[in-house]
């Protein structure tokens, strides 16, 4: 059986979690949380990193900090995970979906400006598969119209746009460390941002509305409830698990990239014959091999291939029923312009097994079976 995903495990996780337990500090903001945050701040060149309990929660924090409120509109792709939308629905915002660029499956930046109204508050680019959206254009539109940009970089940890880490370009960036992502802590995420102005508000929001972070730094002698907040900080046990991977991030990246390049090379003949389409990475993007997908001719062909591979012990998945066609998407949003690609492309896309430690003989078998499907 070749699974679609196996959570990353490098070998040091138990040791670090044990260390956290022994230190009698298993709640949030302990030693391992600091290691992880400092590492990200350094590597991604971002001033503020707050580890969170999920990317969904990082998005909730971003929506709050961006000042999104009842009646505002936010512009996002319909081809994304529901969390991108949930965080803004929670604030009472209306979702305005625009079409994607079929080559990257990312929001088509040339359609954004037309969707702006006097209620628009934020643009939410989602870096699908860790391939960057066209951020210069998006930031330019945002600055001209005084909009906030919240990057859903759940899949884009350690991926880059013109040399800048995804998540660090907009006003706020949100990462995921769910077990299906490149680096994991089971459930978890991070909120990253550059502005010093948001720092205190973000810390308060994350710590139940208290100024406990300031207290821990010794800046005040007792802490108190100062504003609305929630509990968005993860246990240091989870951070200990994550640290074991961040330490070996280069090895994880290289391993995933090898699988990506293998699929890309070995399936090229099928693309040349017109059986499949392969992912496209624009010159401005350095991706992180978060996923490898192919596109089939249509939905029935995809269903047939999934069944064929499943019978041979290979698990493949597809995702995202476009949000605008889901019941909640219809309730909370509208599609601006024409759905030329969102639905059509989402029905053709198939993700192949991709995880740290996927064995060479297993990925070779995936490629073989896909070839044999098209031979029959």
Ligand X SMILES: *Cc1c(COP(=O)(O)O)cnc(C)c1O
> Which pair of tokens denotes residue 200?
């205190």
Pick between residue 86 and residue 200 the one whose CB is nearest to ligand X: 86
Output phi, psi for 59, to 5 deg: -65, -40
User: Of 10, 83, 120, 342, which lies in the binding site for ligand X, with binding defined by CB under 6 A?
Assistant: 83
Pick between residue 29 and residue 152 the one whose CB is nearest to ligand X: 152
Q: Which stretch binds ligand X (CB under 6 A): 111-119, 152-160, 279-287, 367-375?
A: 152-160
Distance in Å, CB of 81 to ligand X, minimum: 4
Output phi, psi for 108, to 5 deg: -80, 105
Q: Should residue 154 be labelled a site residue for ligand X when binding is judged by CB under 6 A? A: yes
User: Of 56, 148, 288, 316, which lies in the binding site for ligand X, with binding defined by CB under 6 A?
Assistant: 56
The candidate with the shortest Cα–Cα distance to 306, out of 375, 369, 376, 356, is 369
CB-based contacts of 67, cutoff 8 Å, min separation 6: 121, 148
User: Of 17, 46, 50, 55, which lies in the binding site for ligand X, with binding defined by CB under 6 A?
Assistant: 55
Pick between residue 178 and residue 348 the one whose CB is nearest to ligand X: 178
Q: Which stretch binds ligand X (CB under 6 A): 12-20, 26-34, 53-61, 257-265?
A: 53-61
Pick between residue 81 and residue 97 the one whose CB is nearest to ligand X: 81
Cα angle for residues 152, 132, 298 (degrees, 5° grid): 90
Binding pattern to ligand X, positions 94-133, x when CB under 6 A? --------------------------------x-------
Do the bridges between strand 333-335 and strand 94-98 make them parallel or antiparallel, or are there none, so unpaired? Answer: parallel
Q: Should residue 79 be labelled a site residue for ligand X when binding is judged by CB under 6 A? A: no
The answer to whether 173 and 127 are in contact (CB under 8 A) is: no
User: Of 37, 84, 94, 245, which lies in the binding site for ligand X, with binding defined by CB under 6 A?
Assistant: 84
Distance in Å, CB of 335 to ligand X, minimum: 19
Q: Should residue 54 be labelled a site residue for ligand X when binding is judged by CB under 6 A? A: yes
How many chain residues bind ligand X (CB under 6 A)? 14
In Å, what is the CA distance from 372 to each residue of 38, 134, 275, 305, 311?
48, 37, 12, 10, 13
The DSSP-derived string for 163-204 is TEETTSSSSEEEEE--TTSSS--SS-EEEEE--GGGHHHHHH
Q: Should residue 235 be labelled a site residue for ligand X when binding is judged by CB under 6 A? A: no
What residue ranges bind ligand X (CB under 6 A)? 54-56, 80-81, 83-84, 126, 152, 154-155, 176, 178, 189
């Amino acid at each position: 059986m070749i699974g679609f995903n196996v959570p990353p495990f490098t070998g040091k996780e138990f040791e670090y979690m044990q260390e956290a337990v022994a230190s009698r500090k298993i709640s949030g903001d302990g030693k391992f949380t600091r290691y992880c945050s400092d590492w990200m701040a350094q590597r991604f060149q971002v001033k503020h990193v707050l580890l969170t309990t999920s990317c969904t929660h990082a998005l909730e924090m971003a929506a709050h900090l961006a000042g999104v409120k009842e009646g505002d509109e936010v512009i996002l792709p319909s081809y994304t995970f529901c969390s991108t939308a949930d965080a803004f629905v929670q604030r009472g915002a209306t979702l305005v979906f625009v079409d994607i660029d079929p080559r990257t499956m990312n929001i088509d930046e040339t359609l954004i400006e037309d969707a702006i109204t006097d209620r628009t508050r934020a643009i939410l680019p989602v870096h699908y598969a860790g391939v960057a959206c066209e951020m210069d254009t998006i930031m330019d539109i945002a600055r001209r119209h005084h909009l906030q940009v919240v990057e859903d970089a759940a899949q884009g940890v350690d991926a880059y746009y013109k040399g800048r880490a995804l998540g660090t370009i907009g006003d706020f960036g949100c990462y995921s460390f769910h077990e299906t992502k490149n680096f994991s802590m089971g459930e978890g995420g991070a909120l990253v941002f550059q502005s010093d102005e948001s720092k205190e508000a973000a810390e308060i929001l994350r710590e139940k509305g208290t100024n406990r972070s300031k207290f821990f730094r010794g800046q005040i002698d007792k802490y108190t409830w100062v504003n609305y907040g929630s509990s968005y900080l993860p246990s240091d046990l989870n951070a200990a698990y994550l640290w074991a991977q961040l330490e070996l991030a280069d090895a994880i990246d290289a391993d995933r990239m090898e699988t990506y390049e293998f699929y890309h090379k070995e399936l090229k003949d099928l693309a040349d014959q017109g059986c499949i389409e392969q992912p496209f990475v624009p010159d401005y993007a350095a991706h992180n091999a978060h996923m490898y997908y192919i596109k089939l001719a249509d939905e029935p062909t995809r269903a047939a291939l999934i069944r064929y591979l499943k019978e041979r012990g290979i698990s493949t998945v597809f995702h995202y029923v476009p949000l605008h066609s889901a019941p909640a998407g219809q309730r909370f949003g509208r599609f601006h312009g024409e759905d030329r690609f969102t639905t059509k492309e989402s029905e053709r896309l198939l993700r192949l097994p991709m995880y740290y430690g996927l064995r060479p003989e297993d990925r070779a078998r995936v490629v073989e079976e896909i070839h044999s499907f098209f031979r029959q």
